[in-house]
Chain A
């Protein structure tokens, strides 16, 4: 299980680093294998920072990110490599995720060089073919090409294939489809669903509620670095308790109902301003909401 316990991240800014900026504050939730948890927030909510902390690309200031009880920040050099053998990440911009100077095969090659050294050439080819098939890519279409020759959808799928070559247990997917065209988005998303069925745990970071609702089992709503509502997706989306969640849901443009016509009541600006963001309290089985409390 991947757990975050009271995780806080404070950045130092300004001259001589005197000013501070708290990106993430006291965030606690967990992700099990075989489930998809979506981390939903607008810009500035800290969701990408949370993803980066899980991937050890940045260190938590307080609190701990643990996988099966081991704090990821405390891992030594070789343990980090092992960690990346079971936890991987995929980012938002497919074209930025590939080094433009090399062919796309290299992202797979790096995995081979660092994790699958013992594999014979024949076994490697089989493994590559298998991973590509699992994500719906044709070998001839993608291997030997440069990143700019492929589409965003193909690039993202190749990254998923890369992650699959390892004995992956958790995947952090940070806005992985927001830069893809609508017609390819859903295929990549469905892929995540299939991987979940195979036992992968996914932290799906997004700002798009419709996607979160479609694919995730549980949802965590983040606002300004704090968790304001969390729980089973049907409950959070079906009966949103926090004003911020209600605001998000009423702002999403639908294809069948105009703004203002849906059943959810939009919060008033004042209730939004005064919305609580203290410790979480359960309001139902697997449904938590922030309450008033000390910061």
Chain B
């Protein structure tokens, strides 16, 4: 009954007055909606700034290593030198090129971040969708599983596991992080699925003989696409941060340069006390900027996707 009034109110607003009961029917849904989204996206400062920062570092991660012959673990350069023409970010105490370490480290951060986020996203979606759509016993079991993994202090577990398993590669580090950071995504997706699943078009799909998987993939997921996108970005940011933390504690792969490992080395070589700012500031700035940029981008994207948050 409330829905009836809701519709009347909706139709009274201009957006639907253009369509609905008084339209000329111009433009299609995705085309019109996409260009409208783009219009707001370009004008959202948080999105633009966040995205620019992340893209800048991504470009550096891709292109940076091409601009130098040095490799991160290579010794033989002058010891502990500040930035100069030959070594743009100076050198470390044992004589490695900081710039090389930084750009290769950026690469690792992005790779681990993306991979871990992908794993967590896939797991979170699978469990969240199934749990939210099917409900009942399946939901109770999956929710219990989600809650258990959620409650476990992730960092403590990761530390212990990393210590025992001696994480050797970026891939295994990404796997570990991905397998422990999916619960909140699963819960969020489950909640959204609950609310979407009660919509009439889902019922109609069931009445048309669509099976469960088809309904999830074709009815529910496309209507949550912005939400899924936001979730992925948050997972990405979180994974980069977690990986940096693990690396900083010396629990990440030791044969692959990463920003956290750089900081670990810098601290163990007392770079702070020795005033070697070119060694510990770039990795710190890198991590902060990437993770911060991703989170700010996320807030901006939320405003773009959700008309009610926009301030026209």
Contact = CB atoms under 8 A, between A and B. Distances in A.
Task: Indicate yes or no for A touching B, C-beta below 8 A.
Answer: yes
Nearest to A141: B25
Given A81-B209, A114-B210, A98 B7 contact: no
Contacts of A98: 201, 204
B30 interface: yes
B54 to A, nearest CB: 28
B222 A99 contact: yes
A201 interface: no
What interface size band does chain A fall in? 35 or more
A146 interface: yes
A29 interface: no
Overall SS of chain B's interface: helix
B1 interface: yes
Interface in B19-34: 19-21, 23, 25, 28-30
A95 B7 contact: yes
B300 to A, nearest CB: 23
B144 interface: no
B3 A179 contact: yes
B20 A114 contact: no
Overall SS of chain A's interface: loop
Contacts of A207: 1
Contact of A84 (B20, B23, B25, B209): B209
Contacts of A88: 207
Given A146-B29, A149-B19, A150-B25, A91 B203 contact: yes
A181 B208 CA distance: 27
B219 interface: yes
A225 interface: no
A149 B209 contact: no
B223 A89 contact: no
A57 B206 contact: yes
Interface string B188-229: 000000000001110111111110000000110011000000
B23 A152 contact: no
B3 A89 contact: no
Interface of A: 43, 55, 57, 80-81, 84, 88-89, 91-93, 95-103, 107, 110-111, 114-115, 145-152, 159, 175, 178-179, 181, 207
22 contacts: A55-B203, A57-B203, A57-B206, A89-B203, A91-B203, A91-B204, A92-B3, A95-B7, A95-B20, A96-B3, A99-B218, A100-B223, A110-B208, A110-B209, A111-B208, A145-B28, A146-B28, A147-B29, A152-B7, A179-B3, A179-B4, A207-B1
